[in-house]
Amino acid sequence: MNLAIPSLDGIKNRSHSVLTVADELKLQIKSTLAAVHSANEAASKWLADRNAPPDVHYLASLAIEELVTNCIKYGYEDAGEHIIEIKLQISGNELALELTDDGRPFNPLDASAPNTHLPGQDRSIGGLGIYLVRQMSDRMEYVRAEGKNRTTVRKSLGGEHGSPSIKDTSAS
């Protein structure tokens, strides 16, 4: 059953629309940095209503912040308005967060891992956010189809409910 939500505490009036279906939340936001905060608020409320563990909340927030911000800053060749779609879905014991945009092709799985062994001031700027999303997720997928990027981040709802752990695979 599809249920259109006319307003979620005024969030619709903050530059995106909301549609909830069973255990799914779909957001369509404008390609503005201000819309990223509203999307994170809506996702956080939706996850809290489903008692998702803290590490899942953290990953979802980080993934929305990093992937959407990168898309807005670097994905478009024009200054026109674009719509970015964010879908969160809980199925079984897993959260799937899917981001779809019509920006230039960009596969975050191909992004180089930053050298985390260097002091912060010696590292080049960029890449750490995507690296953290990749390390904290159980699985990430990317596909380019019909002129759109679709990145999916998956995380189990089970296991430890403490702080997210960072897996350092830079030595492998």
Q: Which domain holds residue 41?
A: 3-156
Query: Mind listing the pLDDT tens digit for each residue in 36-73?
Result: 999 999 999 999 999 999 999 999 999 999 999 999 99
CB-CB contact of 67 with 74 (8 Å): no
Across the chain, what does the average pLDDT equal? Answer: 79
Question: Do the domain assignments include residue 123?
Answer: yes
Question: Do the domain assignments include residue 165?
Answer: no
Query: Mind listing the pLDDT tens digit for each residue in 4-38?
Result: 333 343 344 344 555 444 589 999 999 999 999 99
**Encoded amino acid at 110, one letter:** D
Question: Do the domain assignments include residue 162?
Answer: no
Query: Mind listing the pLDDT tens digit for each residue in 80-123?
Result: 899 999 999 998 899 999 999 999 999 998 877 665 655 665 55
Burial of 83 (C-beta count, 10 Å sphere; 0-12/13-18/19+): middle
Number of domains in the chain: 1
Question: Do the domain assignments include residue 170?
Answer: no
pTM for this one? Answer: 0.75
Which residues have C-beta within 8 Å of that of residue 103, sequence separation ≥ 6?
71, 74, 75, 76, 82, 149
User: What's the CATH code of the domain at 107?
Assistant: 3.30.565.10
